[in-house]
Chains A and B, each alone.
Chain A
Amino acid sequence: MAPPVTYDAIVIGGGHNGLVTAAYLARAGKKVLVLEKRPRVGGAAVTEEVFPGFKFTMFSYVVSLLRPEIIRDLDLPRHGLHVLPLESTVTPMENGDYLAAWGDHDETRRELYRHSPRDAEAYDEYGHLMHHMAHAVRPILAMVPPDPTSLDPRDLLALLRLGRHFRGLGAERLHALVKLMTMSSADFLDEWFETDVLKATKSASGIIGTFLGPRSPGTAYVLLHHYMGELDGVFRAWGFAKGGTGAISDAIAAAARSFGAEIRCDAAVARVLVKGGRATGVALENGDELSARVVVSGLDPRRTFLELVEERELPAEFVADIRRFKFRGSSGKVNVALDALPSFTCMPGVGRHHRGAISISPSLAHVERAYDDAKYGEFSRRPYMDIVFPSMIDPGMAPPGKHVMSVFVQYAPYHLNGGWTDAKREAFGDAVIDTIEGFAPGLKSHILHRQVLTPADIERITGLSEGNIFQGELTLQQLFFLRPAVGWAKFRTPVRSYYQCGAGTHPGGGIMGASGRLAALAVLGDGA
């Protein structure tokens, strides 16, 4: 006799998407268990006390775009979510000048005017267009991608509806959308602006998490993300969660628990149990077997399909597609404990700029050259960096009078020539600090501790394949109905009762929680 089924659903991986899926399933009355291999939930969105008294958001660094419907449905503020705005971005330039974008629109415009009256004029029109484009794209982020190869009337109807949505945008926006989807951010921005440092700073947002440079086609699309947060009226473009990004994971976990979900840490899943083409549960690394009606994987596509299930359970073409799916982690993270804030040459002393982001993108050539190094298998000698001082926004992150500096760095290719070693990791850390020191002399004398994380470290600690923070590159051929593979972009998998809910599915990383929510809806829609 078969043992009784213990759970309605088991979610593998307690990253934020897995937690969102669990919360939605539990909210619908399902008996849910989340299994996380690490001692704490959050996946790449965790806050840890790396050095005594100094807390860091380990891998990610700012809150991008938690879907507003998730915040609402899961009542996250009640569970401890508190987002503080990151109000400015300051880019120090090589000549000692700077470019600043402040929270106040008029002030930003005046600042831009200082660099180029023409660009200040174009800025409003550009913002207007991007605002509308974000509106146009938003419904797509919240929809289940139709299967373009299917002849099922439901898919054809959905494709038709999608076609009508695009045509409904009107010619001008449709054309802008095509450009955004296909152009490089540098080319796209060239059509609008002339100030190099402005284009460099804006285009830098297009390369985050990709193995592409600002002159690589396909990077313009990410420019839109910055405008998506704003229009939801919930967050400003970028924010910082009180308590670090881990606090978001904790809030979602608390919500899931309040709906009755069970979350088990230190519980690594070895494989998914499959009988007769149907998932029946999971086997843990300690040998325990747990049964469930439905298994949902929040891990990336490589782990979900090539590690957790036997290859013979999957069609050969699908396996080939997943093998081809590109990860190529390209970013690193340097977490620094400071005894004082660094003083930047362009804005000496301590100021409000320390409450925002400092972007090390002094020119397009700087960012592009950083990419050139990575293209041939080296880390950037002078990388692009996005720096924040979380202790300025949330004093709880560091001991009194001291500070934490969180540095997101690109590029650090996973596939480094000769592989990552301890020596190379430190050399990479030196390149990061030396480059910042160039804009903030004296920084080094304030460093108490430094933690350097390469994509290899990120993979080792979180399990994200090749250390890609988005669970797979966000390139055009890996988006929408192609994510992670044609025909399997609807959160289902070739194994019945086995689902996927990670950022490796539509709409992908950087749009927090959307995959998890859509996956939960797919599970519930199938009547599980």
Chain B
Amino acid sequence: MSAAARWDAIVIGADVNGLVAAHYLARAGRRVLVVEQREAPESRLDVGWVPPQIVRDLELAGLRIEQPDPWIAAPLDGGGRLELRRDIGQSVENIRRVSPTDAARWPEFCARMRRLAGVLERLYVQPAPDVETRQIGELLSLAGLGLHVRRLGKQTVIDLLRILPMSVAELLDDWFENDTLKGVLGAAGVWHLRQGPRAGGTAFNFLHHHVGSPAGVFRPPRSNIGQVLAALPGVEIRLGDGPLVLLGKDGRAADVRLGSSGDEIDAPLVVSSADPRVTFEPLKPHLDAEFVRAVGNIKARAVVVRGTLALDRPADFRVLCIAPSLDYLERAYDDAKYGRTSARPYVEACAENGRVELHVQYVPAADPALAGAVAAALGVPAGRVSLETPGSHCYHGELTLDQILFMRPVPGWSRYRTPIDGLYLCGPGTHPGGGIAGAAGRNAARVILQEKVRS
């Protein structure tokens, strides 16, 4: 007998979403194998909200969720820094030094944004609303969502309708006048987007990255959830094997071929947290042309490179943001628009356990001049900056308004299913997207388990 009978499900990718999906399936009694291309699990902290449902369902012990305080510091023109803290009152004091008007508006802004992020949180822990449905259950859930939003007050309805399609620049210009403050906040609106802060939809991206944070904190939390999941018993993880999904003889995604060993393992269920474009590549001959075109049209233009900064003494900041104004961000984007790396990039440095990690944007392609530009932005000698080579988009698809909810990963296939029987997606390329730790994995597993019960 082949190895076929050994596994009920193969999960591709030992990242947070893959592992969350695997553990939900395992808890429902499935025998699950996780295959991962990398040799070792990721040692970096995971960025993004960890939905409390996951912590509860999978009983994640030892989970640490960190949010630095102050959560951001930005250099001021006349020297010194603007520091924003978890405590709204303290932030108000700090903002007052640069703009009393902005300081007065901060508490109200934080409360309004928090309420909107709360709506997103509710949307994110379930599959995307199915707007085409004719099923009563779905319609009720849509109506329930509408009612939930309405109960938050008329202002929330107005804010949602107005703000979601807006640019983050318009949103911030409505509230604030200080460039440093607007730069720090606007940067969250362009995270992982090949768009500038003046582009419509960046206000949504700003709220997306506010999800899971308390009011007044506009950078996502970091956690060790990846490490906790990797150590959690219940699933087998095979590292260092590049997986490839192949079509089985009966038209189901039954075989997963492992690149280096050449082993073929089959299981009735394959769940991929890999990039949808990568997952579907070998399956193209079996897919309908419209679907292949839709997958090819996924916009996933990577613009962020990560790196590290070597300092000779401990960093005097937790998180330092170099995005002095909305115009600075917009000009950084202008370069990327024409395919060039930003001459003056947006840089964020995060100090943790003696390491300083860097987020650098916009980098559409490798550029030898970039390390120098990053060092100049941070005011350190060039040799101290080392950058990774630009890779593919870590969200597997930009979070633009045409690629969220029922449009993600491709229109009409937002519910983790694929045109191939037995093959499901569960990565950040699906709803609710990157920057949310494990929500897609959990939603996918729940869809799979519900379907199995029904069939």
Of B161, B170, B411, which one neighbours A481 at CB under 8 angstroms?
B161
Question: In B356-377, which residues have CB < 8 Å from any A CB?
Answer: none
* Interface pair B327/A182, CB less than 8 Å apart: no
A156 to B, closest residue via Cβ: B146
B174 to A, closest residue via Cβ: A324
B142 to A, closest residue via Cβ: A163
Question: In B127-167, which residues have CB < 8 Å from any A CB?
Answer: 131-132, 150, 154, 157-158, 161-163, 165-166
Known: A216-B198, A218-B200, A477-B165. A178 touches B411 (CB 8 A): yes
B296 to A, closest residue via Cβ: A191
* Interface pair B158/A486, CB less than 8 Å apart: yes
Task: Tell whether B402 is near chain A: CB-to-CB under 8 Å.
Answer: yes
Task: Tell whether A166 is near chain B: CB-to-CB under 8 Å.
Answer: yes
Question: In B330-363, which residues have CB < 8 Å from any A CB?
Answer: 330, 334, 337-338
Task: Tell whether A482 is near chain B: CB-to-CB under 8 Å.
Answer: yes
CA distance A336 to B359 in the complex (A): 52
Known: A171-B412, A368-B337. A149 touches B158 (CB 8 A): yes
* Interface pair A191/B297, CB less than 8 Å apart: yes
Interface string of B81-121 (1 = CB under 8 A from A): 00000000000000000000000000000000000000000
Size category of the B interface is: 20 to 34
Chain A residues with CB under 8 A of B162: 477, 482, 486
Of A183, A217, A326, A482, which one neighbours B170 at CB under 8 angstroms?
A326
* Interface pair A486/B161, CB less than 8 Å apart: yes
* Interface pair B299/A187, CB less than 8 Å apart: yes
Known: A182-B401, A187-B299, A376-B327. A218 touches B131 (CB 8 A): no
Task: Tell whether A446 is near chain B: CB-to-CB under 8 Å.
Answer: no
CA distance A191 to B412 in the complex (A): 17
A481 to B, closest residue via Cβ: B161
Question: In B403-436, which residues have CB < 8 Å from any A CB?
Answer: 407, 411-412
Task: Tell whether B199 is near chain A: CB-to-CB under 8 Å.
Answer: yes
B133 to A, closest residue via Cβ: A167
Interface string of A170-201 (1 = CB under 8 A from B): 01101100110111100100010000000000
CA distance A482 to B166 in the complex (A): 12
B410 to A, closest residue via Cβ: A175
* Interface pair A149/B402, CB less than 8 Å apart: no
Most buried by A among B165, B174, B297: B165
CA distance A1 to B376 in the complex (A): 78
Of A149, A166, A179, A477, which one neighbours B131 at CB under 8 angstroms?
A166
* Interface pair A215/B337, CB less than 8 Å apart: yes
Task: Tell whether A475 is near chain B: CB-to-CB under 8 Å.
Answer: yes
**What's the nearest-Cβ distance from chain A to residue B183, in Å?**
16
* Interface pair B157/A174, CB less than 8 Å apart: no
Task: Tell whether A365 is near chain B: CB-to-CB under 8 Å.
Answer: yes
CA distance A182 to B174 in the complex (A): 21
Interface string of A355-388 (1 = CB under 8 A from B): 0000000000100100010011000000000000
Interface majority SS (helix, strand, loop, mixed), chain A:
helix
Known: A179-B402, A183-B400. A167 touches B158 (CB 8 A): no
Chain B residues with CB under 8 A of A179: 402, 407, 411
CA distance A166 to B406 in the complex (A): 14
CA distance A506 to B184 in the complex (A): 35
**What's the nearest-Cβ distance from chain B to residue A111, in Å?**
25
Task: Tell whether A441 is near chain B: CB-to-CB under 8 Å.
Answer: no
**What's the nearest-Cβ distance from chain B to residue A481, in Å?**
7
Task: Tell whether B195 is near chain A: CB-to-CB under 8 Å.
Answer: yes
Most buried by A among B195, B199, B200, B407: B200
Task: Tell whether A148 is near chain B: CB-to-CB under 8 Å.
Answer: yes
Of B132, B200, B299, B401, which one neighbours A167 at CB under 8 angstroms?
B132
CA distance A151 to B195 in the complex (A): 37
* Interface pair B411/A476, CB less than 8 Å apart: no
Interface string of B288-331 (1 = CB under 8 A from A): 00000000010100000000000000000000000000010010
CA distance A481 to B161 in the complex (A): 9
A169 to B, closest residue via Cβ: B132
Chain A residues with CB under 8 A of B170: 326, 477
CA distance A174 to B132 in the complex (A): 9
CA distance A172 to B406 in the complex (A): 12
* Interface pair B200/A476, CB less than 8 Å apart: yes
Chain B residues with CB under 8 A of A477: 161-163, 165-166, 170, 200
Task: Tell whether B438 is near chain A: CB-to-CB under 8 Å.
Answer: no
* Interface pair A178/B407, CB less than 8 Å apart: yes
Most buried by B among A187, A368, A481: A187
* Interface pair B411/A482, CB less than 8 Å apart: no
Task: Tell whether B397 is near chain A: CB-to-CB under 8 Å.
Answer: no
**What's the nearest-Cβ distance from chain B to residue A209, in Å?**
15
**What's the nearest-Cβ distance from chain B to residue A388, in Å?**
30
Chain B residues in the interface with A (C-beta under 8 A):
131-132, 150, 154, 157-158, 161-163, 165-166, 170, 174, 195, 198-201, 297, 299, 327, 330, 334, 337-338, 400-402, 407, 411-412
- For the complex with contacts A217-B195, A477-B161, 5 further pairs of A-B residues with Cβ separation under 8 Å are A171-B412, A216-B199, A477-B200, A481-B161, A486-B162
A-B contacts, 26 listed (Cβ < 8 Å)? A148-B157, A149-B157, A163-B131, A167-B131, A174-B131, A175-B407, A175-B411, A178-B411, A179-B407, A182-B401, A182-B402, A187-B402, A215-B337, A216-B200, A217-B400, A218-B165, A218-B201, A368-B337, A477-B161, A477-B163, A477-B165, A477-B166, A486-B157, A486-B158, A486-B162, A487-B158
